[in-house]
């Protein structure tokens, strides 16, 4: 299968490494790479490692035509306000009969149902496991292992940057030290305020609600407050009382009403939502038939995000 990569930053490069590592077993071939500032490379016969980048293709359509791939892999920067231009990239791929895999939660948070239906009508695959919790199974877990289950709600500590900032302040560092550490780890969004003001969590919350609960919502409809006003003094005061703060996403359906919110919540250190350190994430599903259960990912790195994309690619090979 030939792949056209739209976006070639942290995740795109990690995916290229993973594809090289697994190439004997899974012979995917990258035939195109398209970026914003670093130009475009395309060759339907396959690109070499470290392919030289030429001038940027004049449009996404020109790029996809030049790459001649069967699968578009959308890995551009998150835009939590609109999901664009990723949504248009995905539609351009569908229009060419290409399957799509993305790690970008913007399109899932903004128009999942429409994209799902467009893919289904065209007989194409549309996968997005890494949009929430990197490669840890969330959407595929629900899709493949929970027949007949209704998701009534979910609770998650899903934003790593905010946790690194809080932990840095607990150790006596400043808010800015924490943000710098998160940047060093390569886990912040290109615009770090998306993480700290809760937009990343709002996008994940909307994406979860859209896929698991057919919510047809957007990040703007998630009641959101981030950690931007948290100070080292407040964090250390809570720490001395055996408490900590986590940016928590909650979704809940009560009767016909769906409530979605993101808050910096004060938690006991022993709370299961507070127990995952560093870049670790936890998501609990509240269901009708399976009670409450969850997924935990301990210290995922960008390699695990790439794995989520890879697992989606492999799933497209299945009949
Ligand atoms: N990093 C993670 O651990 C992680 C985890 C889960 C999900 N994600 C999601 O995965 C996606 C990629 O993340 P990342 O960390 O790889 O981001 P990144 O390092 O900032 O890379 C983004 C890439 O997208 C390209 N790009 C941006 N706008 C574009 C446009 N309009 N057309 C073509 N290319 C464009 C950039 O081009 P230039 O190189 O020219 O700037 C860059 O190559 C994001 O949506 C993010 O939310 C990331």
In the predicted structure, residue 191 carries a pLDDT above the cut 90? no
Alpha carbon of 77 to ligand 1 centroid (Å): 4
Q: Taking 80 as the threshold, does the pLDDT of residue 319 lie above it? A: no
Q: State if residue 83 touches ligand 1 by the CB under 6 angstroms criterion.
A: no
Length in residues, the chain: 319
Query: 76-118, pLDDT tens digit by residue?
Result: 999 989 999 999 999 999 999 999 999 999 999 999 999 999 9
Residue with CA nearest ligand 1 atom 32: 36
Would you state the pLDDT for residue 248? Answer: 97
> Three-class SS of residue 260?
strand
- Give the whole-number percent of the chain exceeding pLDDT 90: 88
Q: What is the pTM of this model?
A: 0.95
Nearest to 263 by CA among 278, 276, 253, 273: 273
Q: Rounded to an integer, what distance in angstroms lies between the CA atom of residue 78 and that of residue 103?
A: 9
Q: How many CA atoms lie within 13 A of 165 on its CB side?
A: 27
* CA–CA distance, 126 with 309 (Å, rounded to integer): 11
* CA–CA dist 15, 305 (Å, integer): 8
Residue 278 has pLDDT above 90, yes or no: no
What gap in Å lies between CA 183 and CA 66, rounded to an integer?
Answer: 34
Please check the confidence at residue 187 and state whether its pLDDT lies above 90: no
Statement: residue 68 has pLDDT above 80: yes
Nearest CA, atom 45, ligand 1: 104
The answer to whether the CB of 78 is under 6 A from ligand 1 is yes
6 lines ligand 1 (CB under 6 A): yes
Q: Are 83 and 109 in contact (CB under 8 A)?
A: yes
- Cα 190 from Cα 193, distance rounded (Å): 9
Q: How many angstroms separate the alpha carbon of residue 242 from the centre of ligand 1?
A: 38
Average pLDDT rounded to a whole number, residues 218-240: 95
Q: Write the pLDDT tens digit of every residue in 242-253.
A: 999 999 999 999
- What is the C-alpha separation between 306 and 93, in angstroms, rounded? 20
Question: Taking a C-beta distance cutoff of 8 angstroms, is the pair 101, 313 a contact?
Answer: yes
Out of 34, 63, 73, 76, mutate this one to test ligand 1's pocket (max ligand atoms within 8 Å of CB): namely 76
**Percent of the chain having pLDDT more than 70?**
100
Residue with tokens 């924490």: 178
Q: Give 32's DSSP letter.
A: E
Residues 297, 137 contacting (CB under 8 angstroms): no
List pLDDT tens digits, range 137-169.
999 999 999 999 999 999 999 998 999 999 999
Active site residue 252: no
Region label for 223, one of left (φ > 0), alpha (ψ between -120 and 50) or beta (otherwise): beta
Cα dist. 174→36, 113, 166, 276, 283 in Å? 33, 41, 9, 21, 28
């Amino acid at each position: 299968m030939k792949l056209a990569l739209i976006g070639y930053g942290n995740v795109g490069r990690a995916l290229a490494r993973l594809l090289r590592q697994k190439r004997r077993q899974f012979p995917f071939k990258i035939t195109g790479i398209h970026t914003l500032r670093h130009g475009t490379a395309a060759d339907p016969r396959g690109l070499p490692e470290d392919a030289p980048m030429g001038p940027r293709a004049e449009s996404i359509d020109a790029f996809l035509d030049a790459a001649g791939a069967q699968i578009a892999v959308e890995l551009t920067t998150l835009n939590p306000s609109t999901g664009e231009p990723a949504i248009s990239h995905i539609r351009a791929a569908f229009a060419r009969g290409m399957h799509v895999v993305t790690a970008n939660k913007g399109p899932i948070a903004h128009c999942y149902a429409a994209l799902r239906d467009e893919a289904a009508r065209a007989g194409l695959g549309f996968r997005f496991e890494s949009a929430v919790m990197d490669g840890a199974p969330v959407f595929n877990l629900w899709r493949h292992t929970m027949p007949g289950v209704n998701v009534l709600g979910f609770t998650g500590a899903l934003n790593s940057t905010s946790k690194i900032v809080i932990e840095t302040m607990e150790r006596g560092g400043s808010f800015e030290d924490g943000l710098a550490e998160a940047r060093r780890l390569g886990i912040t969004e290109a615009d770090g305020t998306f993480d700290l003001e809760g937009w990343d969590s709002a996008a994940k919350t909307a994406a979860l609600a859209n896929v698991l609960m057919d919510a047809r919502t957007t990040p703007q409809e998630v009641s959101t407050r981030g950690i931007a006003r948290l100070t080292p003094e407040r964090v250390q005061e809570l720490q001395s009382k055996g408490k900590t703060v986590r940016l928590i996403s909650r979704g809940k359906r009560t009767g016909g009403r769906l409530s979605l919110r993101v808050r910096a919540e004060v938690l006991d250190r022993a709370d299961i939502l507070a127990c995952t350190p560093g870049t670790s994430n936890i998501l609990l599903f509240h269901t009708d038939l399976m009670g409450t259960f969850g997924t935990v990912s301990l210290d995922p790195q960008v390699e695990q995000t790439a794995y989520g994309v890879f697992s989606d690619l492999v799933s497209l090979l299945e009949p």
